[in-house]
Amino acid sequence: MQKSRPKGADCKVIVERAHSAATSRKLWKGLVRFNREQAGPLRYSRTVLSARDEKGRLLGGLITQSWWQETYIELLWLASRARGARLGGSLIKEAERRAQRRGSRVIHLSTYSFQAPAFYESQGYKRVGTVPGSPQGAKRYFYSKRLRAKSSQKHGQKQRARSPR
């Protein structure tokens, strides 16, 4: 027996104003449930890295979200006084190290043409997409980088190489 599906004429699309937070949670739960059914446990995690000066003042940071075998760089920001001091590269390297350690095989991000596309390219990221005109006169770029598989070494011991048969 097939489940009955609502027909377009039986539904209306509305903007949620009074219950937007609760509806948002229900939508996310529905998507996560569907994704788990299709691809298994998400293994979701969020990591916040920060760079601070000797007095503990925030100089910048990076936020990642990870699921399955991928990590997304949600943001990377540095205070103007911290730019050019290689902190961005240090934050990226730490994010990649953590992503690889958790089993991510790819790390990806988006940036705008007025932000740091050349920086990400210098870190080995490949441009995989461009959306022009948002904001006007600028472009949004999408970048991706493959990560090496985790080492097959366990507890500091190397696995023996197998001879071809």
Q: What is the mean pLDDT of each run of 10 residues along the chain (165 residues)?
A: 65 92 95 93 94 96 96 97 92 97 97 96 97 94 91 42 41
Nearest Cα to 144, choosing from 163, 125, 157, 160?
A: 125
Q: What is the pLDDT of residue 158?
A: 41
Q: What is the pLDDT of residue 165?
A: 38
Residues paired with 77 in a beta bridge: 61
Q: Give all domains of the chain, ordered by start, each with its CATH number.
A: 42-146 (3.40.630.30)
Q: What is the pLDDT of residue 78?
A: 96
Dihedral angle sign, alpha carbons of residues 72, 117, 120, 50: negative
d(CA 65, CA 45): 6
Q: What is the pLDDT of residue 159?
A: 41
Q: What is the pLDDT of residue 15?
A: 94
